[in-house]
Structure 1
């Protein structure tokens, strides 16, 4: 194995004194860029060389992270220096260069005539001529400074594309016929028919049906499922949950058959809860697949809870279901 690879190997057991000294040097070098903005280009080059020297001593991840952070600071500082150089009075003017380039290729006519010598430059103002660009002329000048072999698809014409001017004109105003305009329907409070609380009514209906069973336990699926209407089966389970929440109905699993059953029970009092009675909350999943499977398994042909008519609400002169 080459010696260089041995020196750069990962060594978690590096001497602690050497590690602390290396970290200190990295911190000092990085601090020069964070606290001093007047560093010269020579100082940046010296710091980069020092970073290369320090990296030869790196043996662990923490020191490699310090090296990466130092390189980031050097890169950011160098980029700031480059931007500062471009922002001076001697900065390269791209717009002026493009204007001169277009004029040189014949895209614009100079206000003052240009000499026949191609080396001569015209520094006057230009007006728009709209002539096609002579790329071969600038190509001959470029070939004198470049050894690159010319190709067929050289530069295409972003410079030959004329800038489109936006036509700012008055838009035709759309005149609306007031006879065609309709006012929204005004709804007053007395127009809305107030229906009775359906939830309270249906919960009471379920309680009355369970009460007619004289305390006998019934399969929860046989009780809530309407074999002809899946949405109402879901509603029945919703209404039943209020009875279980209030402690009026008990839910249990039969030990012999394993069927889930419900039955009315005496509603517990505050003393019962004080003596240690605890409510248990349960989440029951009930989808259409479960609904169909329960109808097949328990042979449900008729609902125990009567079919309810669809509720309707009248708003103004119209009814909504």
Structure 2
């Protein structure tokens, strides 16, 4: 537990240092873009690099986003500083550059001719020389089809123009069975969860319903993915009116079966309410630890 507290405290310290560094950089931006004092910008980047080492160590996404935002500011300052450089003493003459390039490619020849003999080997040597000053980016390659391209293709029926015989082409089969299968599985799982809820709430004729904690019912301490699936299935029961969600005396949600509302059952208008909540893996682990959950009320399903 102490290690976890130190872990979160260290991440908070990193975010605090990033905010201080960003604020200081924005405040001293006029001094940092001065070309005559580039050491200030270098010091700021060195501090950011040392902070990023801690970001890589603790693998923090929020801290990485703050580092990216700071780099945007630093790159803008570097651009402004470069634009203020005085380049009047060094002028680029394209004609002089071309003449020097022709001289290099012709083997330092001093012949004063318009068309010098430039060999293919000379171009290769120029490429090797220039390659030392650039980082080569990896080339991208297209997949050129699916992974199963080695399988033999079925012969397609075509229209024979010579005999003017029209043969019907093959029509791909619609995958309606997949959709139907998914709906059937969802309906089956919703029914199972309803039966489990009735069992834990002692729901029978003539007996009082005993609500169960919503989180205790849907949380699967063994699988975060199945916890999300349980919430998904329960939402169907709530939507159709078979299950009701209320808050207990402590303000925590409880769940229990109920009879669906029928049209004309009440004279008062019955409104529908919806609510959404986010459940991250950190909150999932925190709920398991606080409530002391060990075994799921909804059995773990086979993948």
Q: TM-score range by the shorter chain?
A: 0.3 to 0.5
TM-score with structure 2 setting the length: 0.41
Structure number with greater Rg is: 1
> Larger % of helix: which?
2
TM-score with structure 1 setting the length: 0.39
